[in-house]
């Protein structure tokens, strides 16, 4: 790291020579009752002498992993990139001179000239599982193969969720704070309940602001009910819905795992399950012999395989989130008012009940 800091100093101060590096404490005021014990960053003061003999002081900053939304490497990268992008807009603020990443060999890779980030993945051959559900809704009946596929998807989740707590491997994932964050993100993340509700607007048929506000309040109460349930922390996909499952014969491939892949198993179960009533509401009469059997088979297979007797005790706010997503006009602009009303009614029924019951889905079509 010393050589890397020397190279960085010479780049920022052209021809400069690093003559000192010292860690900075979070509080230089002497402690006492108001002494600050820790901060988010790990700054180092660099003293650099330029070719003319003038000394310059720089600060090299990294971020520590912690439980305040910085537990993932992506969080820490986001914080530093945001600092680089915004320090300059605040009057009288220290200037951000560079931002980058520390390579595995200790080199410092600058990103100051970078723009948007990109990701390259492999290609998954096949069709989206959503196409199967559209076909079942259109035909009004599912095939034995459809039921078997729903069961295989549920069994895949059983295997995924079998890795719990310490078995996740990463020390950060063994912390109860990871489960707490998953519940916090369920509500407050931009892709969570608050963000999705904000996407509705004030005049959405079937979803007036007062109704959405009441759903938010119910979900917030559930946040406190789920505290202390960190024993449920498991490996998850994070966005397990039919548009993220590519089917190819008897096999399937997953897309777009989300939000750290550690959290509450009910997240994945509800992300998929809500789509059975959602697609059924698009075609009258498609529940009884079509999507309804898939709903029942999916839940039964998951419960039988996982033995998760506590799932229905914690599922409601996750189901409410997914109902809000599929009912949101930003994602499904052609959804009819009646369908939106029924989906939100399912969320409300689940949130108000002491324990979820899959019969709540059946009641939408009775």
101 touches 246 (CB < 8 A): no
Query: Is the torsion defined by CA of 276, 239, 242, 187 positive or negative?
Result: positive
**CA-closest candidate to residue 196, choices 339, 342, 318, 351:** 318
Whole-number pLDDT of residue 31: 55
User: Which residue ranges of the chain lie beneath pLDDT 70?
Assistant: 26-40, 166-174
Question: Are 287 and 296 spatial neighbours (Cβ–Cβ below 8 Å)?
Answer: no
Residue whose token pair is 């024993």: 231
For residue 236, give both structure tokens: 């998850």
Tokens found for residue 313 = 């005790």
Whether the Cβ atoms of residue 344 and residue 364 lie closer than 8 Å to each other: no
Closest among 255, 252, 222, 253 to 239, alpha carbons compared = 255
- Among 88, 86, 63, smallest CA distance to 74 is for 63
Q: How does pLDDT run across 5-14, given as a tens digit for each residue?
A: 999 999 999 9
pLDDT given at position 35: 46
State the pLDDT at residue 34.
39
List, in sequence order, every beta strand (DSSP E) within the chain.
Answer: 17-23, 44-49, 55-60, 100-102, 108-110, 127-128, 234-235, 245-248, 251-254, 262-263
The 8-class DSSP code of residue 95 comes to P
Q: What is the CA radius of gyration of the chain?
A: 25
Question: How do residues 172-202 score in pLDDT, each as one tens digit?
Answer: 455 788 899 999 999 999 999 999 999 999 9
* Dist CA 138 CA 46 (whole Å): 67
CA distance 360 to 112: 53
- Residue-level pLDDT at 38: 62
What's the confidence (pLDDT) of residue 342? 97
Give DSSP secondary structure letters for 151-216: HHHHHHHHHHHT-BGGGG--GGGGSHHHHHHHHHHHHHSTTSHHHHHHTT-TT-TT--HHHHHHHH
* DSSP label at residue 69: T
CB 214 within 8 A of CB 345: no
Q: Give backbone dihedrals phi and psi of 60, rounded to 5 degrees, phi first.
A: -95, 120
CA 230/CA 164 separation, integer angstroms: 10
Q: How many CA atoms lie within 13 A of 154 on its CB side?
A: 23
């Amino acid at each position: 790291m010393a050589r890397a800091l020397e190279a960085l100093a010479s780049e920022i101060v052209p021809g400069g020579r690093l003559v000192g590096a010292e860690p900075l404490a979070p509080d230089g005021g002497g402690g006492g009752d108001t002494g600050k014990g820790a901060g988010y960053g790990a700054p180092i003061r660099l003293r650099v002498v330029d070719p003319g003999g003038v000394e310059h002081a720089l600060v090299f900053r990294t971020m520590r992993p912690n439980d305040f939304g910085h537990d993932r490497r992506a969080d820490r990268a986001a914080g530093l990139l945001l600092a680089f992008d915004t320090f300059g807009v605040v009057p009288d603020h220290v200037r951000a001179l560079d931002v980058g990443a520390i390579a595995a060999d200790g080199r410092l890779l600058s990103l100051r000239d970078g723009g948007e980030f990109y990701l390259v993945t492999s290609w998954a051959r096949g069709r989206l599982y959503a196409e199967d559900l559209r076909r079942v809704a259109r035909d009004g009946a599912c095939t034995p193969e459809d039921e078997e596929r729903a069961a295989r998807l549920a069994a895949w989740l059983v295997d995924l969720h079998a890795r719990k707590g310490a078995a996740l491997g990463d020390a950060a994932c063994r912390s109860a704070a990871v489960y707490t964050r998953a519940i916090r993100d369920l509500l407050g993340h931009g892709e969570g309940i608050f963000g999705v509700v904000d996407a509705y607007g004030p005049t959405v048929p079937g979803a007036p602001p007062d109704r959405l506000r009441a759903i938010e309040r119910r979900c917030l109460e559930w946040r406190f009910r789920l505290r202390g349930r960190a024993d449920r922390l498991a490996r998850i996909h994070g966005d397990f819905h039919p548009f993220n499952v590519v089917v190819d014969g008897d096999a399937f491939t997953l897309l777009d795992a989300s939000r750290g892949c550690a959290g509450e198993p009910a997240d994945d179960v509800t992300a998929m399950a809500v789509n059975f009533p959602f697609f059924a509401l698009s075609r009258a009469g498609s529940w009884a012999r079509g999507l309804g059997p898939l709903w029942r088979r999916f839940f039964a297979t998951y419960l039988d395989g996982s033995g998760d007797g506590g799932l229905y005790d914690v599922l409601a706010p996750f189901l409410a989130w997914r109902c809000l997503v599929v009912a949101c006009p930003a994602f499904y602009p052609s959804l009819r008012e009646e369908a939106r009303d029924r989906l939100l009614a399912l969320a409300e029924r689940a949130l108000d009940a002491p324990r979820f019951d899959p019969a709540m889905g059946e009641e939408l079509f009775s």
